[in-house]
Structure 1
């Protein structure tokens, strides 16, 4: 009775787990990740900030316009002496002044510094976009690593459940044989032990599957319900040319693209520092209004001035103690460092591509061998099953054939998804990951 209860309870759990589930295809998973993954969203905010920095409003090409206004009030004790020898004393004499102006400042020429800075901001924006692309690529690889882990566990669950069903049939058969005196109690006890072991394996697999589904949902931004299913179909119909992919790696690898962009930024940085050798020419203008209310000691009771003023200024830093020379030298050293980093990176990326290619080729070959091994294990199990029914072999030999088939299925499942993940990692290194159809 306990064995039956456990068996039917597990059947209920498995059937409930697959009832009315939403199907998440690879295409849908990628779409959900691009829209809702937290890392991708944060990368998007970095791109938005870089766009703002590369705008004309942050270039230094636009003038500044400032409004100013002020008021002063004074109470003074004043003694005034006149040229005829007389004097006048005023206690608590009041005076006030008011002013308002609009001031314009514009740099006509700054040694081309702002031009290089503006170009740097545009290059930094493009670098930030490449960094966002790297985040997307890493997220997609992470997504499918988890996605195919879920797929593997789903197929493992089906394989273990099938094994449990076979063990249940064996138990029923051994019970009938025991009742009719065709076998002893040992066969029934062995079948019960195997059912318990298969039940434990199934429950553990279900637990791993639930955990993996939660991990997948997290990468998707927790946008789907817990009750979902995924596609376990995997296709290996792409014929890759190694030399062609290697050339694409050198041209499109995200790390190489980023270091190329950094070299461009550093070249502009050298020019920006060099611009400090040249003078700065500025233009200023002001339109103002001033009113003064004088105290009684003044000849005029008040005065009002309204007018426009403009000026041109030249500033040339002839010698700044060597700071500009040092900054230019350091900028050139940084540029040399970026070129060295690029050389190192090219060697590293080529090595990584060759490793990824061999890893993919090896895992694909292993998967194909495992597919062939499944046929052998299935054929062996079918023959063993017939011999078991005829009483030509015992339950231990039958169980071994059963476990051999199960292990072959589990190994095949693992090899299949390992090969697919290796393919994606190879495409990521070559810069082609975002160009394939999922």
Structure 2
């Protein structure tokens, strides 16, 4: 009775997992990538950084527009005054009141600043392009992270299926061992060994099921938690076998985001040098104002009320003939930074080439390993099938049968690992060559 209850529990557990897998929504790589592009927080932050860079390169931030300043003021006085006039008369006023009011608009516009703002404007445009490249890098890294987690979920899902099949075989073996024991064809030890193997298989299923749940949480995290709790992934993997190393290497020099960012930094430093040189030239500015003033004088004044309005304008020139060497130092440092950027470009080029070659070789090796593991599966299945027939005929022991069963399981797990290792190696090759965003997964 206890044996039957145990079998029912294990069977129910396996069936519940199978039913859950059937009823789950299938999330494919393209769908997961779309969710990540829309909801991943890192990508959203990167997009906001692009908006900041776009605001910075706007003409409103370049210094090309004039500044207008409005001013206004009011003054009230209450004085005690003793006044003597030129004709000899005098007067004394206590609490004499007077007031003054003014308002004006002042304009200030730089006509020429040594071309500093001209090159600053170009630098801001390059910084905007750089922020777009940084966002693209974030997107590529996020997609790589997503695919890594996605294929981890797929691998664990296939491992779970293999373990379920192993459990089903162990259950069948237990049933057969119990019948053989009842008819005196084997010993109680065979039955106990079969029960132990079922327990081990069940523990393996429980373990892989929990790890699969954790991996799904990781996938959901990358997509901004926008996938329903109950979902499955597509375990079908298609390799881009039409990839050619030299073609990808040619694209790498044009499309690798790290190399392009370095080129943008070089352009930014070139404009920084030119902007720094503007300190050698004069600055010419235009100033203008329109004002209104009203004075309400006390009785001691010759004029009781005066009001005036008027326009004024002019040009000013400022030339810093010597600033203590600050401009010279800035220009020299900018030139050194530019030289460092060019040296870094050559270093990055070598580094990216090395990484690409390593990734390509790793991809090719893992494809070959996957092919070998596929061949191992056929051998392991054939071996298990023959061992199973001999086990039914009593020509092999339960230990030999179990070993063939485990060999098949190991071959399946290794095949799953090799398949997704090869796919992730392919993803890395695409990322390094700058083609990750141009392919369909």
Shared fold (TM-score, shorter chain, > 0.5): yes
Match of 1:346 among 326, 346, 349: 349
Distance 2:397 2:10 in 1: 24
Aligned to 1:227: 230
Is 1:403 aligned to residue 406 of structure 2?
yes
Distance 1:298 1:232 in 2: 98
Structural mapping, 1:37-186, within 5 Å: 37-186=40-189
Indicate the SS of the match to 1:69: strand
Indicate the SS of the match to 2:23: coil
Q: 1:237 to 1:283 in 2, by over 3 A?
A: closer
Structural mapping, 1:383-422, within 5 Å: 383-422=386-425
Distance 1:387 1:5 in 2: 28
Distance 1:321 1:91 in 2: 58
TM-score by length of 1: 0.98
What per-residue deviation string (whole Å, max 9, x for no partner) do you get for residues 19-70 of structure 1? Answer: 4211111111111010001110110110110001011111111111122111
Distance 1:314 1:76 in 2: 43
Indicate the SS of the match to 2:229: coil
Using the TM superposition, give the Cα deviation of residue 81 of structure 1 relative to its aligned residue in structure 2, in angstroms: 2.4
Report how many residues are paired. 438
TM-score by length of 2: 0.97
Distance 1:333 1:9 in 2: 72
- Stretch moving more, 389-398 or 93-102: 93-102
Using the TM superposition, give the Cα deviation of residue 234 of structure 1 relative to its aligned residue in structure 2, in angstroms: 0.3
Distance 1:167 1:418 in 2: 29
Distance 2:379 2:405 in 1: 12
Aligned to 1:10: 13
Distance 1:343 1:89 in 2: 88
Aligned to 1:247: 250
Distance 1:88 1:115 in 2: 64
Gaps of 5+ in 1: none
Distance 1:208 1:236 in 2: 26
- Would the aligned equivalents of 1:3 and 1:192 in 2 still touch at CA under 8 Å? no
- Would the aligned equivalents of 1:371 and 1:412 in 2 still touch at CA under 8 Å? yes
Distance 1:240 1:288 in 2: 73
CA RMSD of aligned residues (A): 1.1
What per-residue deviation string (whole Å, max 9, x for no partner) do you get for residues 211-262 of structure 1? Answer: 0000000000000111001100001243222122112112211110000000
After the TM superposition, which parts of structure 1 deviate over 4 Å for at least 4 consecutive aligned residues? none
Match of 1:362 among 361, 365, 368: 365
Match of 1:320 among 320, 323, 337: 323
Distance 1:290 1:19 in 2: 85
Distance 1:30 1:209 in 2: 20
Aligned to 1:191: 194
Using the TM superposition, give the Cα deviation of residue 87 of structure 1 relative to its aligned residue in structure 2, in angstroms: 2.8
Aligned to 1:282: 285
Gaps of 5+ in 2: none
